[in-house]
Amino acid sequence: MTDSPSLETVSIVTVCMNRRAHLLVSADHVARWPHHQEHLILDWSSEHPLTRAELPADSRIRLVRVDGERQWHLCRAYNLALRLAQGDRLFKLDADCWPEAMPSPDQLAAAGPVAAFCTGPDGRAGQWLLERRLVDQVGGFNEVLLGYGFDDKDFRSRVEAQGVVVQRLPASALGVIAHSASLRVSRSGEVSSPTAMQRVSAQSLKRATAITNRLLAAGHPWSAQRLSSVYDTDPTNGALRVQRPTIPRPSLQVDDEAQRLRRRIYWGLFFSLPEELVVRMPVRLLPNDVRGRFLLKPIHRWSWYLIRPFWAWPLLVVQALQRPSQSARAEQAVWLALEMVDWPALLEALQRLRRRQRRDLIERLLFQRGLRPQDTTQQKDLFASLLNADVLDSDQRFYAGIALGWSLIRIADTQAALPLIDQLMLEARRLEADPSTRQCQGRNRDNRLKRLVSTWTVVMHLALLTGRDELIGDIAAAAHHLLERTDLNRIPADVLLRMSSNWARCLVWQWPTSPDRLKADLDHLYRAVRHERCGISLPDEDHRRFVADLQAHIAGPSGGQVLEHSLGLKTPELLQAIQRF
């Protein structure tokens, strides 16, 4: 085997309970990967213990056995394995995963400390390669979480909170053995052909534990200061065994709340019952779980087959008629493409969505900043792709153009700004020439008048950035004439209030040549948004205050500062540019 030339050693960490068949396949693949120095395999009390002879003849493999565990516990198992591993970098790989088109750790380290999380379906998203110090800083996994679900999201969010630059690896980085939820929650690890009831039980349990783990993570937040489980070595066989009193537990209040939530979700999904009915049913009939497991008694099995169909028949009919949702898979592909910053894949996935679903998703993407890439260059490329995407409706394409404009202003990209100005002004002139624009009754972003004013606003900033000063005067004059010709009382109140700040930003550039006309325009606009009919609108931004502040700047001794105050973004380039006025 060829070791990585780096001085930093890499340990692959795999934990397994009754998944021998999968492990033997994946271990053989892992043994062919040349970039690690240790593959630690932790046998978490498998019914038939793993032996070293079963595993590949790879000297890097190190097999450790834990005895006395009756149930699978991912967080405790991986925390122990991560502590036992000896590498400077830790590569978590489940028993059904192996590296394929995976960059070497040294390649990943070129961008800084290694913090790489895999993406994609079939469990790939739960695999990662991290510097050991990052794992130590967050204390590993939260050991009060039970079952499956949210453990990886909780861990990743705490790593990201350390301020490191996280790399996303594509699905092609890993090979996996796809399997069902029934196998995932099976005690034996061998479920070749699960029954319908077993499938529903497995899906119900996975859903119940995933949701409840969110509650546990909030009620018992994990950190490096939390004490993990402690293990002793059995002198007779070398296996490890936990000291039961050291197993972390949440507070009694949090534990009780979590147990009630698991019971409500599991039995509600298993029997297709309303959650309120489950709450009121006797616990002896629908019992609580035991450390994340529900015991199905004969009465539950017979009831599922014989009684459940009588009240669940509408759901069963819908399930029988419905085909697997292509749009649901397409939406998952959209979020994966966003995570991987793969814009061609994003556009392809958008084409497979229904129009209403696509509009809703693009609306969120354009106007909810938390869903966008945080890197401004990546934002620019995203909005440029959406601007030219024929699959989008024209109004959303041009809102993508507006968003692109603000991205270009942030990074002062004058070369890309010049053609965008012309593209946006074509739309603005079309809207301005259409008499129906001033009478549009559409709500918020569906309103064409609001889109016109938003377009003017970003174009003025772009023109200021690129030195096209003549365009700024033209837009200011057009905004004045639009105000003169428009009956503000006929504009929907919410639309008027929300676009008033941008309208004022366009009007304010009359200041250098026509300050009196500007004052009259702002007074007229302010009276309209102060009207009681606009009082029902509650936007996040205080638009009335913004217009009032502009009026105050004009009336005050520092009137020249009105231009600076009007800027939607106060970048160094724009602040320098307003000195021309």
For the whole model, what pTM was predicted? 0.69
How far is it, in rounded angstroms, from Cα 507 to Cα 465? 18
- Measured distance CA(541)–CA(504) in Å, rounded: 14
3-state secondary structure (DSSP) of residue 128:
strand
Write out pLDDT tens, residues 339-348.
777 888 888 8
Question: Which residue carries 């260059």 as its tokens?
Answer: 377
Quick check: helix, strand or coil at residue 271? helix
Tens of pLDDT, residues 497-535:
999 999 999 999 998 888 899 999 999 999 999 888 887
pLDDT of amino acid 165: 86
Residue identified by tokens 């008629």 is 321
pLDDT digits (tens, 9 = 90+) for 534-547: 877 777 788 889 99
Q: What is the chain's length? A: 581
Q: Indicate the SS3 state at residue 558.
A: coil
Instruction: Name the band, by pLDDT with cuts 50, 70 and 90, for residue 458.
Output: very high
User: Domain-by-domain residue ranges, the chain?
Assistant: 10-178, 181-219+251-322, 326-411, 412-581
pLDDT surpassing 60 at residue 116? yes
Q: Is the pLDDT of residue 556 over 90?
A: no
Rounded alpha-carbon distances, angstroms, from residue 481 to 473, 478, 505, 535, 580: 12, 5, 15, 26, 25
CB–CB of 568/406 below 8 Å?
Answer: yes
Homologous superfamily (CATH) for 10-178: Spore Coat Polysaccharide Biosynthesis Protein SpsA; Chain A (3.90.550.10)
